[in-house]
Structure 1
Amino acid sequence: MPRKRTTRLVVAAVAALGLAVTGAFMGTASAGESSAGLPKNDAAKGLVYDGLQRRAAGPCGAGLLEVKGTSPIMCTHGPDAAPAGLSVKTPVPALAGSTAKAAATVQSLAVCEGDGTSGRRVEVLYIHGSTSRYTQYLETFRTLAEGVDTIFNESAKETGGERHVRYVTETVNGACRPVVRDVKIADSALNANDWAPLLNAVKAAGYNRTDRKYLQFVDANVYCGIGGLAGDTRKSDANRSNTGPEYARADNGCWSAGVAAHELGHTLGAVNNNAPNASGYGHCTDEWDVMCYKDGDNVVIRTVCTNRSHDDRLDCNHDDYYHTNPPAGSYLAQYYNVADNLFLIKGGGSNPPPQDSNLARSATASASYTSAWESVAAINDGIDPPSSNDTVNPRWGTWPNSGQQWAELTWSSNQTLKRAQVYLFDDNQGIDVPSSWKLQYWTGSAYADVPGASGYPVTANAYITVTFTQVSTARLRVVLQSNGTSSVGLLEVKAFAS
C-alpha cells in the first residue's frame, strides 16, 4: 500500500495556496515485464515504458534506458509515478491569483547571474498542443521554478555552501524571474505514449542547445515525471551531466516544485548507481529525500533522516549525490557530485561544513567481534536510535563474547577530531551497557586514549557526548568493558571536528 506523505511547500507563497511539491515518488516498476524486458505500462500511475529500450552497450548500458528515435542518444532512468496527493490524470490547478497583475507581488529568484541568457542555463518550457493555457499558468510556472531553486539552495546550506539554479531569466516588474517559453507542438506529439515525439518536436522548435537543460511543464496526462540521466560518474567538468541538451518533464497532474526538482535533479546527475545508497534505478534508498523512494520490488528503503521535512531537500545525509564541500576520501570527493554541476550558480562551496557535520558517515566501520545477525556498519549508518533497545534499525553487538570489545571508524586520510557521540546498545537479553568505556585514536604507530576527555558516563537511551583535545587521526576506536558475563554493543557513533 502506498505510504502517506506530507506535501510541505518550499516557498511561503506556494504554501499559502496548498500546492503539493513533495519530490519522492511511489515506485516506478509495475508488476511483471513486457516482452522487451521492461516493466509493464501502468498508465494510471504515469508508468509508460513505450519508446524506451535496454541496451547492453553504449552510453545507456549502465543500468539505464534509451529513448528510442532521438538524436543524439538520450538516456533516462525511466518514468516516475505520482507522489501521494497528486494524480497523473487530474491536472493541477493554477495558483490562486496567478495572473500577470499578481506577478508584481510574488517572490523573485534569490540570485541571478549575468545577462540572463549566456552560458549554461536551465530554460523553462511550457509545452502544449492546440489548446494553450500559457497566460493562466505563467505565474504558476515561474513560482514552481523558484521553488526548485529553493530546494537546491536550502539543501546546499546544510553542507555550508550555496547553490542556485542558473535559469534563463528576465526582469518582471523590477524582479529577476525565470523565463517561461511558450512552446506549441502537434497534439499527436504532445499526447503520445512515447517521449520521443515530444522531444523531437521541441528540438525542431529550436530548444536543442548544448548549453541548456530544459525543464518541461507539459500540458498532457501521459507521465507524472521523467528525466534524462547520463549515468556518468566521472568527477570532471567533462562529465556528460554538465552538457546539454537535456530534458526534464513534468505533466500537468504533477506540476509541483518537488516533481520538477526531482526530474531536474536527474538531468544534473542524480543518482548514479555506484553511490553508497543507490537503488540501482537512478534513485537512493535512504529517506527522507527528494530523490529517494522505493523504485523496484527488491529495493529496501531505510528511514535515515527521521524528520520528514527533509522530503523536500536533496541528499538526506549528503553522501550520495549532493554536498558543497564533501569530506576528503568520501564518495562525493571521488565521484561525480551534483553540487559541482556547471548549470548551478556556486557560492560558499569553500566554506567549512557546519559545526554539527558528522564525519563518521564517511568512515569504514570495523570491530573486534560482531554477532552473525548484527552489523558493525550500523555504528555509522546515520540512523538516530529511538532507544538503547532499538529493535527496528541495524545494531552492532558482540554476544556471546564478553570482556573487552571494540569498534572503530577508519578514514582514508587523517581527520581533525575534537568531539564524539556514542549511543550504547542494551537489549536486556544478554547485551548490557558496559561497566566502563573510552575513546582511543591512532597516533600513526599505536592506539592512545584521546587527551583531555570530558568523561565517559554510562548512560542508556541517549547519546553520550565526549569532548577532548583536538587530534588528527585516521582511526577512532570505542573500547568497551563488559559488565560481568554480559556482552556489549553500540547503536551509533558520531565524530566531529568541533
Structure 2
Amino acid sequence: MKFVRAPKPSRIICRSLAALALGALVATSCALLPTNVADASTSSSVRTAPDLAKLCAKLKITVAKTLLCSHGPDPVEAFGGAARLKQTAAAAEESVPAAPASELTALCSAGGVSGKRIEVIYGVPQDRTNRYATMLTPLRDVMRQVNNNLEAAGAATSQNYRFLCTNGVDVTVRNVTLLPVGSDATYDFNDYVWSLQNQVAFGLGPVDFIANDRLYITYIDQIQDVYPDGGQGELSIDDQPNPALNANNDTRPRYSMSAYLDLLVIAHEIGHNIGAVQYSAPHSSQAGHCYDEADLMCYDDGGPHFAAGGTLTFTCPGTEWAIDCHDEDYYFSGTPPASNYLATHWNTARSGFLSPIVAAEVPPTVTAKPPVSLAIRVAQTANATATFSEAVQGVSTTTMRVKNPAGTVLSAAVSYNATTRVATLNPTATLAPDTKYSVSLTGGAAAIRDATGTPLVSTSWSFTTGPAPTITTRTPASGATGASRTASVSVTFSEGMAGVAASTFRLKNTATGAAIAAVVSRSGTTNQWILNPGNTLAATTNVTVTVTGGSSAVRDLAGNPVSTSIWRFTTGS
C-alpha cells in the first residue's frame, strides 16, 4: 500500500532588505542556526524559529527537521536549458565503462568512511518506478566526472570530494524511497528534505538521513515532469575564513538535490552546500551565485547585481565547467596570496567535505654530480658521486651505473650515505685512458625516490678520462739564445693531437707583439708539429711561441686539452 502524501511544511520567502547593516547580521547569524530542533518524526511541534527574515535575508527558507537556508531552485536555464539536460540525462542512463582504479581511489579518499562524507542517494518518489539497478552505474559515473572536474581545477594542488565509500573501493549509492508526487503533481526541495529526515515516521525506509558530518546529494528520478528546475541546495551566509568556525563547515547534515544526471547540476548544488558563493565575493550576484560566466556557480539569477543593471562577464573562454575560473570568488586550491579575497574570507577549498589540499609533488633532484657533465682529463681511478636535494631510497647497482662507449655496464660498487645524501659509484677496475664514460641514475616507484615515494627524474651525464696530454720537447727550448733565424720551430706532444693549426700554434715578436706568419705542419705520423716562418727571423730578436690548449683548440684525440704553453727564445745575429 502506498503512503498517503503528508502535508507539506510551510515555505517562507525572506524578502530583500535594503539596510546595509543587515548584510553583516546575515553573515554572522546564519552560523548560529540551531541544529537541535525537535524531531518532527516524534513530535508534531517544531521549536519556535528565530527571526528568519534577519537570519537568511534574500534566501528561501525550508523548515524541516533542521533549519535550512537556500537561495531557491536553480532553473534549467542555468545549465544550458531543459533540452540539453534531458539529452545529458538520457545519455547518462546508458551503459558506461567502469571507472579506472586510480579514479576510484580518488573518489574514496582516506578509506571512504571517516570524517565528513558526501553521501550519494538515488531517490525516487513512492508512486514512481524504482530503477535503482539501472541507474547505479550511471550515477557512480557522474560522480566520477564531478570529482575529475574538481581535480582539474587545481592540477598542482589537487583535491577530491570526500565521497562515502562503505566498501572502500567505489562510491556508495543509497536506494531511497521519497514521499510520493501525489495528486498535486508537484515536487520540490521541501518534499525531498522532509522525506530524508522522516523516513521512519513516514514508513519510507528504516533510517532517517540526518547524520552529522554528511552532505546528502540526491539524484531524484522521474520528477522532470513535476519539478521545473534543475536542482537546489542549501547555503549558509557566512564568509569568515576559519573552517573551525564557519557555518558552511560545521557539524550537521546538509542537503542537495538534482533532477538530472548531470555533472554541472550536481557539482553546482554541492558547491552551495560547502559555501559558494558568499555575498561579499568579488563577482557575487548577491543571491548565491556569481556573474563571472563560464564559472560553475555563475549565471543570471536575477539577484541584486542583475536587478541593478549588472550583466554577466565573459573572461574565462573555453572553461565552461570551471570551478572558480579566476580562483578569487570561492575556491583557491592552495594558499591564496594576500591580495586575494579568499585569503581573508571563506574558501571552499578548506571545506571538510573535500580532501586536504595536496601540494604538487616535488621530485628529488641531483644537486652535484662529480665528475661534472662533460668533464675531461678525469683520473682513471676517480669515483662518480651524486648528491641529492633530499633523502632518497633505492640507490643500488641497478639504479646507479657506469657504461663504456660500447654501452657495456661496468662492474662497480655503489653506496649511499644517508647523512650527506651522497651516492658513490666505485668502478671495480681502473678506467681506460682517454675514454668517454656515462653515468646514469634511474628514478621510479621501485628505483630512486624520496621518502614519500616521489621518484627522481632519471638522469645521466658523461665524462672523459685522462691523462692530459703534455708537451715533451720544445725547439728552440724555452730561454734559448742564438737560435737559427732560418730554422723551424717545433713542439712534440706526449700523444697524438688534434686542433694544431696556425691559430693555436703561433709566433710573435715579443717586443712589438706583431704576429709572425708561419705554416703549421705535422712531422709525418709522429707527435711532432712544426711551425715554419715564411721569412727569415730578425736578428737578435726575442720571439714568443704560444700553443693554445682547449676543448676546441689543441687537444688529444679523446678531447682532453693540453695546458696552454708559452715560451720565448732569442735569435742569433
Q: Does the CA-based 8 Å contact 1:323-1:339 persist in structure 2?
A: yes
Compute the displacement of 1:137 (Å). 0.9
Q: In the alignment, what sits opposite 1:209?
A: 211
Matched, 1:248 2:256: yes
Q: In the alignment, what sits opposite 2:65?
A: 71
Alignment equivalent of 2:13, drawn from 35, 53, 61: 53
Matched, 1:341 2:336: no
Compute the displacement of 1:74 (Å). 0.2
> Deviation above 6 Å: which 4+ runs of structure 1?
104-107
Q: Does the CA-based 8 Å contact 1:163-1:344 persist in structure 2?
A: yes
Cα distance in 2 for partners of 1:133, 1:319 equals: 41
CA RMSD across the alignment? 3.0
Q: In the alignment, what sits opposite 2:561?
A: none
Tell me which amino acid in the other structure corresponds to 2:320.
D
Q: Does the CA-based 8 Å contact 1:51-1:195 persist in structure 2?
A: no
Matched, 1:95 2:88: no
Cα distance in 2 for partners of 1:305, 1:339 equals: 22
Tell me which amino acid in the other structure corresponds to 1:348.
V
1:156-171 paired onto structure 2 within 5 Å: 156-157=154-155, 160-171=156-167
Q: In the alignment, what sits opposite 1:135?
A: 133
Q: 1:305 to 1:327 in 2, by over 3 A?
A: same
Compute the displacement of 1:62 (Å). 4.8
Q: In the alignment, what sits opposite 1:394?
A: none
1:267-278 paired onto structure 2 within 5 Å: 267-278=273-284
Q: Does the CA-based 8 Å contact 1:53-1:68 persist in structure 2?
A: no
Q: Does the CA-based 8 Å contact 1:67-1:195 persist in structure 2?
A: no
Alignment equivalent of 1:318, drawn from 298, 303, 327: 327
Number of residue pairs the alignment of both structures matches = 294
Is the deviation greater in 111-120 or in 50-59? 50-59
Compute the displacement of 1:191 (Å). 5.9
Q: In the alignment, what sits opposite 2:310?
A: 300
Q: Does the CA-based 8 Å contact 1:52-1:65 persist in structure 2?
A: no
Q: In the alignment, what sits opposite 1:390?
A: none
Q: In the alignment, what sits opposite 1:287?
A: 293
Q: 1:180 to 1:52 in 2, by over 3 A?
A: farther
Cα distance in 1 for partners of 2:148, 2:100 equals: 18
Structure 1: unaligned runs, 5 residues or longer: 1-49, 353-498
RCO higher in structure (CA 8 A, sep ≥6): 1
Deviations 1:375-415 (A, max 9, x none): xxxxxxxxxxxxxxxxxxxxxxxxxxxxxxxxxxxxxxxxx
Cα distance in 1 for partners of 2:94, 2:274 equals: 32
1:270 alignment partner, SS class = coil
Q: In the alignment, what sits opposite 1:332?
A: 342
Tell me which amino acid in the other structure corresponds to 1:210.
N
Alignment equivalent of 2:181, drawn from 162, 165, 188: 188
Work out which of the two has the higher radius of gyration on C-alpha atoms and give 1 or 2: 2
Tell me which amino acid in the other structure corresponds to 1:156.
G
Q: 1:208 to 1:327 in 2, by over 3 A?
A: same
Q: 1:168 to 1:232 in 2, by over 3 A?
A: same
Alignment equivalent of 1:122, drawn from 108, 118, 121: 118
Q: In the alignment, what sits opposite 1:3?
A: none
Compute the displacement of 1:263 (Å). 0.6
1:67 alignment partner, SS class = strand
1:335 alignment partner, SS class = coil
Cα distance in 2 for partners of 1:224, 1:105 equals: 29
Tell me which amino acid in the other structure corresponds to 1:162.
S
Q: 1:300 to 1:150 in 2, by over 3 A?
A: farther
2:122 alignment partner, SS class = strand
Cα distance in 2 for partners of 1:150, 1:161 equals: 13
Scaled by the length of structure 1, the TM-score of the pair is: 0.54
Tell me which amino acid in the other structure corresponds to 2:271.
G
Q: Does the CA-based 8 Å contact 2:62-2:70 persist in structure 1?
A: no
Q: Does the CA-based 8 Å contact 2:99-2:144 persist in structure 1?
A: no
Q: Does the CA-based 8 Å contact 2:211-2:253 persist in structure 1?
A: yes
